[in-house]
Structure 1
Amino acid sequence: MDADSELLAVINKSDFKRKLEPGERVRITDINGLNLVISGTGKQTSFSFEHRCTFNGKRIVKKIRAETLEEARKIALDRYTKAKSGLHPDGIAECDLTLAQAVSDYQALQKQKKISQATEKKLNLTINKYLKPHFDYPLSKIKARTVCDLILRPIIDNGCWDMVTYVKRLLQKVMQLARAKYPEWNLDGLFEIDMLIQKPAGTKQHHPAMTDGDSASNIRSLYDVFRCISQMSSRCLCELSLHLLLRPSEIVELQVTDVNMQSRILTVRKTKTIRDGSGFRVPLSDQAVKLLNIAISAKKNPKNPYLFESRQQLNDHMNHETVNTTLKRHGFKGIQTAHGFRAVGRTWMESQNVKFEVAEMCLSHKTGNSTVNAYRRTDYLEERKAVMQRWSNFITESSQGMSLA
């Protein structure tokens, strides 16, 4: 505070020596809307600061936490200056209001909602990879065009359209929360990103899979890779992915309790197409049962509920990309993926003249419209048992003795 401000002050340090009777209350006005409130209580006299100002025609009163009169005056001056400048007195300074703050607020909100471990992991990985490099960017300057050029364009150039959509939606949610939390800054909601970033027609890409040529030779080449895997649990994961034809996320998130060896049924709790909690029953072939037993015996942490446990994090499962990473390391990048195993199996079923509805159900695909599905209440379990056993037999024969099963 300068000398002129000090002369205008009304509060004196001697005011803090007052003694009031219980029930008495005195308010002393200072400069810039600062007030000293003195209250008499049964035990002693209490002293507190409050600040009053007007913002958008509304009177705002807030208690100030300050140890000294000088500190209270500084806080009052800051709030008074913001209100006179048309900013909310409790708003964060523009230099502090960055993308990092908005993302932190969003992560805190997601934790309150108690999202799943897998969802939280994907969120954190995405933030660290795509948003963290831009954390210092002022939130007030983030516009739809800025996001497209700085954040989304590198992802688009790599052709990762699924990630483009995920990051785009994430940023919209982050900014939507920031708009609600900091209304005084008139932040851009990024609602027009969808108009600026649209997936071009004909850019849909299928998961790479070796569906051409001789199926037996293709499977043999996969087993040339599998036999090089030294860790038993990873080896079982790769082989089971081929035998069971599950999606990568579905198989790595399997828990030991999902396997019933007596009925030879594996239950996937939630799939991409079945989310009503009923689960999806997967019949187990002789080879799948043997591989599952090996995987269970290879577990090192009995308290970890997952069948394929993570080596880095306690009580977590393997990464969804484990099989893909193995395939890429051995030269199959752009040729075969873990999800592409499903295409290999579905192509084989087509060559074996498997009934269409049964083949699609082997991949947990829904067929027909909602009316048809309302009356067709079967998962073709018995038919699928025979098909999946034949598929496993074909894999074993094609591997030429390299299979663990």
Structure 2
Amino acid sequence: MPKLATPLNDIKVKNAKPQDKPYKLSDGGGLHLLVNPDGNKYWRLAYRFDTKQKTLALGVYPVVTLKDAREKTLAARKLLDADIDPAKDRDQKRHVANATSVNTFEKIAREWHQRKTESSWQPQTSVQNMRSLERDLFPYIGKLPISTIKTPLMLDVLQQIEKRGALEITRRLASLASAIFKYATVKGLMEYDPIAALKTELKPRVKGHHAAIKVAGLPDLLKAITKNEGRMYPPNRIGLRLMLLTFVRTSELIETPWSEIDLENEQWVIPWQRMKMGKKRLSPRMVDHHPFLPRQGWELLRELHQYTGGSKYLFPNRRDHEKPLSNGMILQALKRMGYGGEMTGHGFRALAKGTLKTLGYPIDRIERQLSHASGEAYGGSYDREDFLDERKEMMQHFADYLEQIERGNVVIGDFTRAA
């Protein structure tokens, strides 16, 4: 009958001295302490799996105590009872742990961002989204393994952004993060998207379009512009006036190079590549746009040319004249006038549309001037000459109407277009 090992105790383990050769102190059941000549002590478990004799390392004494070693032995025995090799199980868990530590939120987010940039995003969208991630998410969760990020943490992160009053930014970041988590789920790095459950927990954004005043507010807006013009840089003053007169998008005006402007013949054509619908990766609208400035608009451009005509852009960046001014120029001007949150650069388009409707112009003509109509809707003639004269007449009438309001000669709603 084989001799049973006497279980170890803490004192015996502690007092085990090194010898000339390694030796073992058995605790029974395959668990033993290996004592090396250098004095180091290692816990080992001897076991058989699939008819093979194997050894499992359980740690170094005294970091792993006798009690710890016995608990690890019990866990290993339970795996063996389930026909699982504890050594392979340990290696698999280490692999998962290593992968988890490497696959941080920032790493996966940048990988996802690169794929989207290469497949569908415009350069501007790519830059804006990365800036948002770097500013509002990476500082908080960037270094965390993505698999460890749960719903409560994301709620806390997004609510911190909400506290700034940036509800639209919060929603956009939630959408970006959700797409990243779904990408990680597809890659097998996590089990679910932690953003999905937050839909009802985040504050709702204010519904509607870009902030814009009503047509009835035109007289007060024009008074505010006139009152504040003396405090603005000349290009800023002119830019605000042109936004009012042209209906173009803020970027389409701010990023206009002088090469697109023909002051002598009073022609301004925006190449389709600069238009919103022309920038689409799929089925871009390849139709140039004619903004059609009224007489007052060309007067403003000639004045502007005296200030910035030597630069590449109508509105050059003050630090680098080879770059255009920031789109925020219009917003800042409106804010200083007391219209912060009530009016935006894009709001001038909505204001113009509403005003022209009250003046009796057909919606299709207004939409073409706003560059909203699709090339398919109007065929190849979308911007051909048979549409130009009526739009020119409309733009001049609109500018004259604004001029009459500023002079106090018009009461909103009573000025009608001549037949």
State TM-score, norm by structure 1.
Answer: 0.63
2:247 corresponds to 1:245: yes
Looking at structure 2, the residues matched to 346 and 376 of structure 1 have their Cα atoms a distance apart, in angstroms, of: 24
Q: Could you tell me the TM-score, scaled by structure 2's length?
A: 0.61
Alignment correspondent of 1:129: 135
Q: Is the 8 A contact 1:82 1:89 kept in 2?
A: no
For residues 309-335 of structure 1, the C-alpha deviation after alignment (integer angstroms, 9 at most, x for no partner) is 333567433222221122112322233
Map of 2:400 onto structure 1: 393
Aligned to 1:43: none
Return the alpha-carbon distance in structure 2 between the equivalents of residues 112 and 83 of structure 1: 39
Distance 1:346 1:227, change over 3 A: farther
Q: Which residue of 2 aligns with 1:88?
A: 95
- Could you tell me how far apart the structure 2 residues matched to 1:203 and 1:110 are? 28
Please give the alpha-carbon distance, in whole angstroms, between the structure 2 residues aligned to 1:213 and 1:177. Answer: 48
1:324-373 per-residue CA deviation (whole Å, 9 max, x = no partner) reads 12211232223322222223222321232122221232222339xx98x2
- Tell me how far apart the structure 2 counterparts of residues 312 and 331 of structure 1 sit (CA, whole Å): 27
Shift of the 82–251 alpha-carbon distance from structure 1 to 2, 3 Å rule, reads: farther
1:336 corresponds in structure 2 to 343
Distance 2:404 2:343 in 1: 20
Residues in 2 aligned to 1:395 and 1:331: alpha-carbon distance in whole angstroms: 20
Whether 1:282 aligns to 2:291 is yes
Residues 152 and 90 (structure 1 numbering): CA distance in 2 closer, same or farther, change over 3 Å? closer
The code of the aligned residue for 1:324 comes to L
Contact 1:265 1:282 in 2 (8 A): yes
Contact 1:273 1:366 in 2 (8 A): no
Q: Distance in 1 between matches of 2:208 and 2:165?
A: 9
CA contact 1:145–1:196 (8 Å) conserved in 2: no
Alignment CA distance shift 1:322-1:151 (3 Å): farther
- For residue 383 of structure 1, give the secondary structure of its aligned residue in structure 2: helix
Q: Distance in 2 between matches of 1:82 and 1:111?
A: 39
1:153 to 150, 153, 159: 159
1:287-302, aligned counterparts within 5 Å?
A: 287-299=296-308, 302=311
C-alpha distance after superposition, 1:174-196 (max 9, x if no partner):
33454567x4x436445736855
With over 3 angstroms needed to count, the CA separation of the structure-2 counterparts of 1:301 and 1:132, relative to structure 1, is farther
Asked whether the 8 Å contact 1:295–1:307 carries over to 2, the reply is: yes
Taking the TM superposition and a 5 Å limit, the aligned residue runs for 1:2-401 are 84-88=91-95, 91-92=98-99, 94=101, 97-106=103-112, 109=115, 118-134=124-140, 135-144=142-151, 146-147=153-154, 149-155=155-161, 162-178=168-184, 183=188, 185-186=189-190, 188-190=192-194, 192=196, 203-213=206-216, 215-230=218-233, 232-261=234-263, 262=265, 264-267=267-270, 269=272, 270-272=274-276, 275-299=284-308, 302=311, 304=312, 306-312=313-319, 315-366=322-373, 373=377, 377-379=381-383, 380-399=387-406
Q: Distance in 2 between matches of 1:118 and 1:233?
A: 25
Identity %: 19
Deviation, 1:296, is 4.4
What's the secondary structure of 1:172's corresponding residue?
Answer: helix
CA gap 1:212/1:178 in 2 versus in 1, 3 angstroms = same
The 1:259/1:166 distance shift into structure 2, 3 A limit, reads farther
Q: Which residue of 2 aligns with 1:29?
A: none
Aligned-residue Cα RMSD (Å) equals: 4.2
Partner SS, residue 93 of structure 2:
coil
Aligned residues between the structures: 317
Amino acid at match of 1:241: M
Letter paired with 2:333? T
Cα deviation digits, residues 266-321 of structure 1 (max 9, x gap): 3253544564222322112222223334444433874x5x4323335674332222
- Residues 346 and 112 of structure 1, relative CA distance in 2, 3 Å threshold: closer
Contact 2:159–2:202 at 8 Å: present in 1 too? no
Q: Deviations over 1:210-267 (max 9, x none)?
A: 325463443122222233212x332222121111112223322333333344362332
Q: Give the Å deviation of 1:139.
A: 1.8
Q: Which amino acid aligns with 1:251?
A: L
Following superposition, the deviation at residue 117 of structure 1 comes to 5.0
1:289 is paired with a residue whose SS is: helix
Partner AA of 1:205 in structure 2 = G
Distance 2:226 2:89 in 1: 68
**Residues 1:89 and 1:161: Cα distance change in structure 2 (over 3 Å):** closer
**Structure 1: runs of 5 or more not aligned:** 8-31, 33-79, 401-405
Q: Which amino acid in structure 1 is aligned with residue 293 of structure 2?
A: L
Shift of 1:123: 2.2
Equivalents in 1 of 2:309, 2:388: separation in Å?
33
Contact 2:239–2:330 under 8 Å retained in 1: yes
Contact persistence 1:220–1:398 (CA under 8 A)? no
Instruction: Give 1:84 deviation, angstroms.
Output: 0.6
